[in-house]
Structures are given as structure tokens and as C-alpha cells.
Amino acid sequence: MNASLAPLVATAQALMAPGKGLLAMDESVGTCNRRLAEVGIAQTPENRHRYRELLVTTPGLSEAISGVILFDETSHQSTAEGVPFVEVLQGAGVLVGIKVDAGAKLLAGHPDEQVTEGLDGLRERLAHYASRGARFAKWRAVLKIGDGLPSRACMLVNAHALARYAALCQEAQLVPIVEPEVLMDGGHTLARCSEVTGEVLHQVFEQLYRQGVVLEGMVLKPNMVLPGLSCAGTASLEEVADATLSCLRRGVPAAVAGIAFLSSGQSAKLATARLNAMNLRAGSQGPETALPANGLPWPLTFSFGRALQQPALGLWAGDDVNRVAAQKALLHRARCNGAAAQGTWRPGMESDGLST
């Protein structure tokens, strides 16, 4: 491997440190406003700033969080004392990342599908963020399961965009977080989600290979394999774990630095329990020489947004009297997920918001 890639690989490995994962707080203005509204908080720039300051200044965050993904607005903000959020995170030993896509837009000729945009000017934006202290970036593609969906065209254009983004990131010495999300919406079965997720992963890694992306210097952020939200059937923790692990083993090259799951709108506790089940099921098959403790070629951790933030947001409710309690709730969820990333989480950890 080219020596110039060593810093990229080191950053990717740091993001996947044992017992740690990523805090995704890169919601767009619209999404952040909706979440504030859900708990009765006025949708203002000031309140977005106050909430995000609460998150980035949480004491002890680096115990279970290796990196934080920021939105552009947040990356330029500072604390009430004038310290840039980026410097707060760096000082706490947390790597700084940035969402760089421009969102999913309707795919021409396919009115029920979307393609993520934002490649125009991306090289310059990446250089800007790197100069401001970012060490990694994120790009999300969304794919919907339905009658004849996702189409091959949708899979191909999103895989191609993800790979172009990833190659530009590595050129700028930023680790790309590659996020192809198969949505939970719909009545599809666990088996159908596995089939689609497997095909999406195949297309993504084909494009990454074609565009020269170094797998050791990237992190995959996939969905878990789950039945659709309106599916009549249910799936146990073990069934979800086995289906997801089987899909990943078939579709993800061993060279990838790690896998950090998105939470896909799952509840906080369920996302944790499912991550834990995967690490338990993988570990029960026995670790092999030179592999992580879970017996897989890559570590499995979390890159959660809502599943980490929601308890804290609900407690805070816009009132700084609740700030400390909200930060403790965030740290608790991070610790629970850090344990799940090692297969050591237990339901009893949920009984105490100050659990260690």
C-alpha cells in the first residue's frame, strides 16, 4: 500500500476503536427542526445551536464515541464561550466528520426513486472541511423496497455516486463513510430485505473497486437487515443478527476497515439490542487468528443519530435546567452501544441512566 495512505488507514482504524462508535448529528436544517418540533421546541437557529452545543460538550463523550458527524451549519458554530465546536471535539479526543452530500432528489425517469446529489464542487468542499479539521466525511444514498424497486438504474447511479465521493475523499485525505441505506418503509419481509441489501452492496463495492477506492481507508455504514415497518411478520434479535451477518459476509470484502450501522429509525434500545446480538452471534462461532474478537474480518459498531440523541432531546426539551440530565442520557446511550459493539451489553444496563 502507498505510504501516503497510511494516515487514512490510521483514521479509519481509530474510528473503529473497540467499544466505540459514531454519533451522527448531521441532520439537515429541516430534519433538525422537525425533531425539535416533536418535543415542543421552537424551530429557530438559536435552538438548533443550543441543542447541538449540548451534544458536543457532553462530558466523557469519548469514552464510547470515536467520531462525530457534523452538518455544515454545525461545523462553523462555536460554544457560548466562543470555542469552535470542532475544537471542542478535538480537545475531547473525538474525530470530526462532515456530511457532504446535498441530499436525495428524484431520479429522472423513476418517479418513485431517488439519487443523492452533491458531486459538483465536492473536491473544493472537501479541501475546505479538511483545512478546518475534518478527518472523515459521509455521503448517504437511499433505496426503497417496493414492487419492482429498487430498480437496477437506481442501484447503479447511487453506487456510482458513492464511489466517486469516496475516491474524492481519499484524495483529500478524508476517510469516506459510505452509506447505502435500504429503507425500512414498506411491507417487505426479512428475506426480501436481505436480497436487496446484498445486491446493493454488490453494486457499491463493484463501483468502489472500479474507481480505485482503498478499502482499508473507508468505513461502510449500512442498514441492518430488517423486515419492513408494515410487514405482518416479526423477526427476533437472533434472526435479524443472522440475516445481517450472512448478507455482510457475502457482500463486504475483508479489507474494509469496519462496519458502522445506521439505526434506520429504530428505537434506541432495539438498535442497541440488535447490534449486541450481531456481535454475540458472530463471536459464538469462535474468533479466528488475526480477526477481531467477534470472529469477523471487520469490527461491527454503530453510527447512530436518532437512536443516540432522542432520549437526550426529550429530556432537554429546550430548557437548559435539564441540560446535565440530557447529557447524561446521551452518554448512557453511547456507553450502551459501546458495550453492544463488543457483545457485552445486557438488558440490565438500561435500568439506570447513569449505567457504566
pLDDT in tens, 171-192: 999 999 999 999 999 999 999 9
> Which residues have CB under 8 Å from 111's CB, separation 6+?
none
Whole-model pTM: value is 0.95
Q: Which of 27, 53, 113, 179 is catalytic?
A: 179
**Which residues lie below 8 Å from residue 91, measured CB to CB, with a gap of 6+?**
none
End-to-end CA distance of the chain: 40
CATH number of 3-350: 3.20.20.70
In the DSSP assignment, the letter for residue 287 is -
Q: Are strands 104-107 and 110-116 parallel, antiparallel or unpaired?
A: antiparallel
179 is catalytic: yes
Q: What is the pLDDT of residue 271?
A: 97
**Residue 355, pLDDT score:** 40
pLDDT average per 10 residues of sequence, the chain (356 residues): 86 98 96 96 97 98 98 97 98 98 97 97 98 98 97 98 98 98 96 98 98 98 97 94 97 98 95 97 62 84 97 97 98 98 95 51
Catalytic residue among 20, 99, 144, 221: 221
pLDDT of residue 248: 98
Query: Domain limits of the chain?
Result: 3-350
Q: How many angstroms separate the Cα of 345 from the Cα of each of 183, 229, 273, 328, 350?
A: 26, 25, 8, 18, 9
pLDDT digits (tens, 9 = 90+) for 53-90: 999 999 999 999 999 999 999 999 999 999 999 999 99
